[in-house]
Amino acid sequence: MTPRRRRIPDATVARLPVYLQVLVEQADLGVDNISSEGLAELAGVNAAKVRKDLSYLGSYGTRGVGYEVAYLVYQIRRELGLDHDWPVVIIGAGNLGQALAGYGGFHDRGFDVVGIVDVDPDKVGIRLGDGDDAVEVRPVSELPRIVARSGVSIGVVATPPSAAQQAAEQLVAAGITSVLNFAPVVLNVPVGVTVRKVDLAVELQILSYHEQRRLSAAAPSGSTLRAVRP
């Protein structure tokens, strides 16, 4: 009854997809072996971190030689659960929802948008994406059926902020256990449901902070840009 493998640190889990991406690229270039130093360089991290991260997966390298690219790709994919495709459902077919449904980057990396739903009857029926991967916007009432039919466990919230909490509840009620939230609100979900949040404006706000610092670093010390204290 002991777990087969210790928990992998969050920080490592977040980097594994980056290593995977780099390794797949190298495999395509015909590279068979790579050292922690080489992988680190390409992934933009340091070599000790690469070795430590990979050591959580097991001892898959060869001392004096490095790591076999194809084998490492296989192991990282297996660890992340990427050895099979994942169906995904999107709730909210506005600007962003439509772009996500039509975004090839998901399908390319093993995620199939099997459904997109919206409350707005005017949006229902719109076809998004192309070829085999095209989906049609359906009413929210069909969410449970879509989830049940396709065995979806990952849902994407792409509604306006005011509708996001209800959307999340509808996803959870339909059986979704992982949520990717694009709405700028904090979602409340039952324990056991995993939420990740991507707030596009927040990313810009953080860049704004860095730009701001750059400006004040550049400003002369007697600058008029001084902070105002009450």
Partner DNA sequence: TAGATTGTTAATCGATTAACAATC
Q: Does 18 bind DNA (CB under 7 A)?
A: no
Among 31, 48, 99, 134, binds a copy of itself (CB under 8 A): 99
Among 9, 104, 125, 144, binds a copy of itself (CB under 8 A): 104
Q: Which range touches a copy of itself (CB under 8 A), out of 106-114, 131-139, 143-151, 164-172?
A: 106-114
Cα 30 from Cα 95, distance rounded (Å): 39
Q: Does 63 bind a copy of itself (CB under 8 A)?
A: no
156 near 91, Cβ under 8 Å? Answer: yes
Distance of CA 211 to the CA centre of its chain: 26
Q: Does 21 bind a copy of itself (CB under 8 A)?
A: yes
Q: Which range touches a copy of itself (CB under 8 A), out of 48-56, 135-143, 163-171, 194-202?
A: 194-202
Cα 110 from Cα 105, distance rounded (Å): 9
- What x-and-dash track marks residues 112-151 binding a copy of itself by CB under 8 A? ----------------------------------------
Q: Does 112 bind DNA (CB under 7 A)?
A: no
Q: Does 225 bind a copy of itself (CB under 8 A)?
A: no
* Residue whose structure tokens are 């390794």: 23
Q: Does 91 bind a copy of itself (CB under 8 A)?
A: no
Q: Which of 30/230 has CB closer to a copy of itself?
A: 230
Look at residues 203, 144, 206, 211 and name the one whose alpha carbon lies nearest to residue 175. Answer: 144
Strands (E), the chain: 33-34, 61-62, 66-68, 86-91, 111-118, 127-128, 135-139, 154-157, 178-181, 194-197
Q: Does 77 bind DNA (CB under 7 A)?
A: no
Q: Which range touches DNA (CB under 7 A), out of 62-70, 85-93, 153-161, 200-208?
A: 62-70
* Residue whose structure tokens are 């077919």: 93
Q: Does 184 bind a copy of itself (CB under 8 A)?
A: yes
- 3-class DSSP state of 117: strand
Cα 79 from Cα 57, distance rounded (Å): 7
Q: Least distance to DNA from the beta carbon of 40, Å?
A: 9
